[in-house]
Structure 1
Amino acid sequence: MPSPEVFNTTKPLVITPNASYSANDIAQFLEDIGFPQGVKPYKSRILPLVEKLVAPEVPITCIIGTGIKTPGTLFYGECGFDKRPEVVYDNGDGTVNMVSLLAVENAWANDKSQSLKVIKLPGVSHTSILKDDLALDEIIGEICSINSQFSSY
């Protein structure tokens, strides 16, 4: 679910003939699509996780795929939510868009106590990042690099 803290809250993510929904409107969107039972878990579990991305103050490495068309905005026509929407695609890993993938990098950019390394793998999807040979080489290389730093002590 898109975080209001990360996404532009004025940019519509879902557009219908009768309403538009931004990251601020997810609870209403869940109601409108006929999933009111999703509102409480969204407000009580999802929002607290994404409202503030607290830096853990330990070194973090994020390895993400990029360059895969990823749903960005959904346009529903006159049939509303009963028919598949027209999709405008953004950059991402095929499942998660770049705004979300880079959320921690943006949130922790000025936090001197947080070490963060982001490795972007062009053409690697969310579902193949643990299968793709290039991605696996990168992951193993990172693990080996981290292990070698600690084995020299």
Structure 2
Amino acid sequence: MTYWINTVSRGHVLRGVAGGFTQANHGKPHMLKRMARGDWIDFYSPKTDYPDGPPLQAFTAIGQVADDEVYQEDLDPQFQPWRRAVEFLPCTETPIRPLLDRLDFIVDPSRWGYRFRTGVFAISEHDFEVIRTAMTADSAEVTVVG
């Protein structure tokens, strides 16, 4: 099992939660192909909306990959993104800053945002649990602030 972070605006995360899917890297398949059924994904949202939403800097969803292969969605002739089916956990949107000193993937706290520029990346089980615990403590359903 692998644990991932997918860097996606809150607006796109909410569409994924509603539709039971995730996309990555603007609809490209390469990172999604590395995922397997049962892998976990923490969704980090630097902004509320892409490309011009205000800064958010929060974890906005948690889900588990629920299929065996990527699939392509035919939205229109110019945009046919690759996706993975995801089952989302009930959770609460959680700012990243209070978690920075407990996340091992943050190598330089003064430049913590740099790691998210790759879009999708693997993290340790420890880091996943830090985020999951913060997002699911006393959570009955997905709650979005804002």
TM class, shorter-length? under 0.3
Comparing both structures, which one devotes a greater share of its residues to strand? 2
Bigger RCO of structures 1 and 2 (CA < 8 A, at least 6 apart):
2
Comparing both structures, which one devotes a greater share of its residues to helix? 1
TM norm structure 2? 0.24
Q: Which structure has the bigger radius of gyration?
A: 1
